[in-house]
Amino acid sequence: MESECFRENSPCENLEGKAFLQVYKGVLNSKVREDSLCTFAKWEPIHGKFRFRHPWGQYQKLGALCRQCASSMEALASCVVVLKKSQYPEANPELCLKLRATCGAMSLHSAKALRGLSLAVRTMTLPCQTNDMSTAAKVASDFRTQLSEDAALLQVMHGAVVASLLSDVVIQIERITESTSKLARLARFTNPERPPSAVVINVED
C-alpha cells in the first residue's frame, strides 16, 4: 500500500480490485473455521510441541484481534479507493505531502511488523525484536496529536481521514503484537534459528 498509494509519484489509477487491498478479506470471516480447528486440536493426543494445556484459547483471542484489525483495514481500503477515484484538488500541497509521508511511514512499518508476527506464529518461534512497530506507533501518535492541535489539517480533510484510519490500524497491530508475545510465552515458542555465519578462508599463494 505504501508504494501504490502514499508515495509522491504514486500512479493515479483505479485501485478497486487491487490484490493488496483485498488480502484482509480472508480474515474477516475466519472465526468459524478457527473455532472448529481449536476444538478439534484440544481433543488431539499430545504430540510434538502441542503438550497438555497448550494455549489454544490464546490463538482464538489473537484471531479475534486480527479480525478487528481486518475490519479497520476494510474501512481504510474503501476510503483509499474513493480518494483515488475522486482525485480531490490539493488545497494545501505542502501539508498533503506531509500527510503522504505520515501515511507511507505508518503503512510501511505496520506491514513489516505484521509479516514478522505472522512468521512467528507459523513457525512457533519468538517474534523478532525490530523497531517497526514502535516506529509506526510513534508516527501514529504524533499524527493524532497534530490532528487535535492543527486546524490547517481541515484543509485536507480527505487525506486526514485516511491518515486517521491508518493510525487506528496501527493501534490494532500493537494489540496483535502484545497478544502474539503472550502466546509465544504461554506456548513456549523457541528462538528462531539463525543462518550460519559466513566463513572467510584466506588462501595464500
Q: From CA 178, how far away is CA 56, in angstroms rounded?
A: 16
Supply the pTM of this predicted model: 0.76
**3-state secondary structure (DSSP) of residue 143:** helix
Spatial CB neighbours of 23, under 8 Å, sequence gap ≥ 6: none
Instruction: Give the residue, 157 or 116, on which the prediction is more confident.
Output: 116
Identity at 28, one-letter amino acid code: L
Identity at 175, one-letter amino acid code: R
pLDDT score at 98: 75
pLDDT, average across residues 118-144: 86
Kindly tell me if the per-residue pLDDT of 67 is higher than 80. yes
pLDDT score at 196: 46
- What is the overall mean pLDDT for the chain? 78
pLDDT score at 61: 95
What percent of the chain lies above the pLDDT cut of 90?
24
Fold of the domain spanning 19-187 = Methane Monooxygenase Hydroxylase; Chain G, domain 1 (1.20.58)
Per mean pLDDT, which range of 7-16, 50-59, 105-114, 115-124 is the poorest?
7-16
Per mean pLDDT, which range of 21-35, 71-85, 151-165, 173-187 is the poorest?
151-165
Q: For residue 87, is it left (φ>0), alpha (ψ between -120 and 50) or beta?
A: left
**3-state secondary structure (DSSP) of residue 49:** coil
For residue 149, what pLDDT band results from cuts at 50, 70 and 90?
A: low
93, 130 Cβ separation under 8 angstroms: no
Half-sphere exposure of 86 (CA within 13 A, CB side): 11
Kindly tell me if the per-residue pLDDT of 185 is higher than 90. yes
User: Following CA atoms 132, 23, 38, 124 in sequence, which dihedral angle do they give, to the nearest 10 degrees?
Assistant: -40
pLDDT score at 203: 45
Kindly tell me if the per-residue pLDDT of 198 is higher than 50. no
Kindly tell me if the per-residue pLDDT of 79 is higher than 70. yes
Which of these, 134, 148, 143, 149, lies nearest to 165 by C-alpha position?
143
Spatial CB neighbours of 9, under 8 Å, sequence gap ≥ 6: none
Kindly tell me if the per-residue pLDDT of 9 is higher than 80. no
Per mean pLDDT, which range of 5-14, 119-128, 188-197 is the poorest?
5-14
Kindly tell me if the per-residue pLDDT of 64 is higher than 80. yes
